[in-house]
Copies of this chain bind each other. A is one copy, B any other.
Amino acid sequence: MRQSRYFLKTTKTFSEEDKVISARFLKQAGYIQESVAGRYYFLPIGQRVQQKIMAIIRDEMDKGGAQEMVSPILHPVELWKETNRTNTTGFELMKVKDRRGSEFALGGTAEEMFVDLVRKYELSYKDLPFHLYQFSPKFRDELRARGGLLRVREFIMKDGYSFHRDEGNFKSEYEKMKQMYTRIFERMELSTTVVEADNGYIGGEYCHEFISESDIGESKYFITEDKTYAAHEDVAKFKRNPANMGAAMLPFQIIGQPEWVQTMDDNVKHYKKEKNNFLKNVVYKNRVNGEIIIAVVTGDLEVNQNKLEHVLHAVGQLEPAEDADLIALGTKHGYVHCWGHKGARYIGDIILKDAKNLIGGQKEEMTDSVNVNYGRDFTCELLADITTAKSGDYAEHGGRLIEGRGIEVGNTFQLGYHYTDLMKGAVYRDEDGTEKPYYMGCYGIGVGRTMAAIVEKFHDEKGIIWPEQVAPFYAHLLAIGEINEKLEKFADEVYEKLSASGIEVLYDDRKKMSAGEKFSDADLIGIPWRIIVSEKTTKEGKIEVKKRSGKESKMMTVEDFITHTKK
């Protein structure tokens, strides 16, 4: 491709928003262009990268026996009603009506569409298992788009759905998919950590995220030193450190407290005890039904809103209570009681089972309660795992947890019977003649986000350094210096020879442009091999070859370069 004719415009400027490296370089180098926030054009060179990523995914999926197809983008909203997802995904789901009044969802995922497809057929156990997938645009009505391709409102996702006779058959597919995903990302030179994750609004019992490590990523997880356990912070299980475990319960008392004792740190200072000795209440409101929830934990723990939402079967519905909500409860910030607020639902962390003789629970202006014990002095509607692990905590099965952070590039979900129970008729005929619901899994990879994750990993201060497998071109041929007839002829020849040999070349044939500008564009664009043709190399009939990632350059004939490449 001749750069002079290519719709590829680099720019030196970048906005404050683009301090995320991948956003900055992908925009500056002309891979993407924003339409409106969170919606991007993939420009010709960006589309090449996107297609290479898709080709790798497709190759592995096909080898693994999955079958590519494509479903409509507008999903009849009736299907989403069958699975109750019009409520649970509430804020992220976009809907549109046609002129006949039929309503459609702009799908963020397509479970309903694939179940609805499959139930249109009368299948038997002999048809199982099968795995259908598609590359198709997905929509998320995100409140905040951020970081270029990292969090967008519209993107291409590879989404796959597998249908099985039973759990056992599913599990082998699930394992296969975990390995396949790891291999897919490895082919792009992304090593991923597979972590147990929160299934959000997808449903099912367990799921995994594939995380490419990056400080800029939104996925925080914990992994044991021996790597036998890795889980997203929203699901990571950890051992609590309950105060006074096993101690005898002392008599409950209301005692005086100086006015300056307000915060958790004040408590620690005043009572000279560790944070785990104090009770702490965090108040939430369910924005759908207005319920007030008081989460009761100890001072060493932070409430995990996601865990709490799952316990309450209210995924995506909680928000921190506001002052007005506290006033309505008859209290204010810092003075919420562990019991007695009428109408509030109390949910406690499991630490309360074992912690003894806690402080707090019924704090007034100049008093507090001590020797407070769960079960004797107060109870909650239930105790559950509603708090977040910290680095240094122990995993349930031993092993210290280390915190990690990265970009979620893929995920796999056990769906089980979640959808096929809710959607009538999603059954196959088993060997014994009875109808049974399909056991399902689903699997996703965000193509654009994967592209961003690669850039986050492979760049330097000058620009992108694409791994060969996903690079838009293999070689970037630069005609450098004053481009006279002789040089142009030689550079054209090199270009023709490379192209004829099947090497994908971007040929910077632009005239009246300094070597410096061409080099800096090439660094920004990040094609793996750079080939320079200058007056000097023309004289020798050679090319100067340098890796984008390296420093050394080498003179050789174009034929040698081609031979070297083909090896």
Contact = CB atoms under 8 A, between A and B. Distances in A.
Interface of A: 4-7, 9, 33, 35-36, 39-44, 46-47, 50, 65, 67-74, 76, 91, 94-100, 102, 106, 113, 116-117, 120-121, 123, 126, 130, 132, 137, 139, 141, 143, 153-154
Contacts of A102: 36
Contacts of A69: 7, 41-44, 46-47
Contact of A72 (B41, B73, B76, B120): B41
B99 A35 contact: no
22 contacts: A5-B65, A7-B130, A9-B121, A33-B117, A33-B120, A35-B71, A35-B76, A35-B117, A36-B76, A36-B102, A39-B72, A40-B72, A41-B113, A42-B69, A42-B70, A44-B67, A44-B68, A44-B132, A50-B70, A91-B99, A94-B96, A94-B98
B47 A99 contact: no
Nearest to A42: B70
Contact of A96 (B67, B106, B123): B106
A99 B90 CA distance: 10
Nearest to A113: B35
A96 B106 CA distance: 9
Chain A residues touching B, majority SS: mixed
A73 B154 contact: yes
A483 to B, nearest CB: 15
A118 to B, nearest CB: 9
B98 A41 contact: no
Contacts of A44: 67-69, 132
A141 B74 CA distance: 12
Nearest to A70: B42
B99 A96 contact: no
Given A96-B96, A132-B44, A137-B137, A67 B120 contact: no
A19 to B, nearest CB: 21
Nearest to A47: B69
A67 B41 CA distance: 13
Contact of A141 (B5, B46, B67, B98): B98
A102 B71 CA distance: 26
Contacts of A137: 73, 137
Name which of A36, A116, A132, A143 has the most chain B CB atoms within 10 A of its CB: A36
A332 to B, nearest CB: 31
Nearest to A156: B70
Contacts of A98: 94, 141, 153
A6 to B, nearest CB: 7
A67 B9 contact: no
B35 A116 contact: yes
A67 B116 CA distance: 37
A116 B41 CA distance: 11
A244 B5 CA distance: 61
